[in-house]
Amino acid sequence: MKKNNLSILAFIAILFLFIRLPGVSLPYHQDEWKTARSVEIGAEAASSLYHPPLTQLSYRAAEKLVGGAHLRFLPLLFSFLSLFLLYLVVKRRAGEKAALLSVFLYTISFYSVLASHMIDTDGALLPFFFLLSLVCYDQWNDVAQRHRGYWLLGFVLALLAGFMVKLSFIIVLGAFLVDYALSRYGRLTKKEITRLSFGLVLFSFVSVCIFFLTKFLYPAFKLDAMVTHALLYAHLSGRNYIQIIVQTIKVLEYLSPLLIVPLLFIKKDTIRSSRIFIVYLVLGGIFYFILFDFSRGALDKYLMYSIVPLSALVAMILSPHVANVRKSFTRPVIVGVLLSGVLYSLNFFHHTVLTLYPKQEWFARALHGQWNMLVPFTGGSGPLGFYVSFLFIASVFLFFIFLTVLARARFLPFSAVMLVLLVSGTMYNLVFIEEYQWGMINGSAPIVLSEALAYIEEHPTVTSVITYNDIGAYELSRSNKYANRFYAVPEYEAVHRERFSSFDGYFLIVDIPRIYTGSYYEDFFNTCARVFETRSREITATIYGC
């Protein structure tokens, strides 16, 4: 590696940590807090983590090292290691410039930042083992490599480790099988097919043996619970297609146009060098959208698998164009900065904060061009919740599409357009990162939550709390004040009527997303006393005594 490129890689690595370290102290949310409390309480409680044993063992080890309140350091570590593995993979397949661009995209992508913090496996642990196995796979495929046998062993062990983290890692195994078959298209012999079949059977046998052996050596691992949990998603009927659409749109917004629109510029030679990433994306899409029903799960969390392949793929597409503007580098960058400033200013227009229901109003406003509304971003495994302007989001996407059309029609030079898109796409992601971690434009849920929890801590009379959307559940559970949670959803109204009528205590509401007007929930809280209230721009935290 040239000294200059080494310096760039070091700078990107520092930027990676600089962007993410402020988020390691963000409050846990929903599924995250359950994981943290499970590993804090002990092995038996950790059995509620319905994944293969390596997940439980990893988070239990992290809890011993850094404590339950700092588990975000584990996904951050795996994401950081993935940065270097991604560099090695792309460099081997597309060269130094594409490799540096891929890790830059991986670094500034908001979806990647979120994945680096999430207390789970999909965003950090699984991508690490995918990239580790890919490094070994590429080395083994190199016929000039003297130690191919060792790389094959490393490849198998990396696959096995990934499978011991989560069963959905089977997608990665499938991606390698398809990629190998395509690379040997027309040349696969019966002997090779026999070897592959034997290898699959052996891999399956070893995996089952490890599961059963772990059950005896580590009793907290519940094999039956893992299988039952996996089968919950194995059905074709009863899918919530509206939820699938909403979650998919959210994922596209998380990925940003920077990791989506450049795919329109892909060429045949890029397809060949990035085939494994394309196969991985396609198989993942089949797995999450067709084979299994994740419509009632955290689909935005599962689709984090797409971050790494898209970062690599888009870098391979953009790098030749970006390299072509070295002599006229300044002008496209200045244009990109100026246009980004205009787009960024859209965040400061007057915006309407809509309630969660009816959801039809969101679609109606979007279709009728009433885009000055704030979109609440929350999830089953985080984040806690933040707002971003839909006017800003939609305008950036349209801006990308508009420039792409002009470039495809040859009204504008490809290379200059790519550089402008790179600058404006970076700005888009930085806005998401800022709102997620600090909320300086539209408000910070972590700030108001912290103030509300401080009030609860200072008043011993507040001994039992039901919290909206499970916000603050981790802290309340540690202080033995967590009573329950509620979601302001129409279909849960009957359950909550009964729960609220028999409850004598307090309610904590951090209002993101806001409770819909004219509902039972609004009427109920209007009868309660507000004992505490605080605000951070568009987000409030209220404690009700009922």
Question: Sign of the C-alpha dihedral, residues 416, 421, 422, 423?
Answer: positive
Q: Of 187-196, 249-258, 334-343, give the lowest mean pLDDT range.
A: 187-196
Q: What mean pLDDT is predicted for residues 497-503?
A: 91
Lowest mean pLDDT among 34-48, 98-112, 143-157: 34-48
Query: Mean of the pLDDT values across residues 346-364?
Result: 89
In three-state secondary structure terms, 434 is helix
> Of residues 117 and 193, which shows the higher confidence score?
117
For 290-342, the pLDDT digits (tens) are 988 887 778 999 999 999 999 999 999 998 877 666 667 788 889 999 999 99
Handedness of CA 301, 302, 303, 306 (dihedral sign): positive
Averaged pLDDT of the chain: 91
Query: Is 366 a residue whose pLDDT tops 60?
Result: yes
Does residue 540 surpass a pLDDT of 80? yes
Q: Is the pLDDT of residue 220 over 80?
A: no
Question: What digits encode the pLDDT tens for the residues 392-435?
Answer: 999 999 999 999 999 888 888 888 888 999 999 999 999 999 99
The reported pLDDT for the residue numbered 224 is 76
Pairing of strands 539-545, 506-510: antiparallel
Helices (H), 303-370: 307-323, 330-345, 360-367
Distance CA 50, CA 39 (A): 13
- Picking from 19, 209, 207, the residue whose alpha carbon sits closest to that of residue 105 is 19
One-letter amino acid at 395 equals S
Model pLDDT, residue 325: 65
Confidence of residue 44 (pLDDT cuts 50, 70, 90): low
Q: Mean per-residue pLDDT for 116-141? A: 95
Q: How would residue 47 be classed by pLDDT, with cut points 50, 70 and 90?
A: very low
pLDDT higher than threshold 60 for residue 43: no
Reported as a pLDDT band with limits 50, 70 and 90, residue 477 is very high
The model scores a pTM over 0.75:
yes
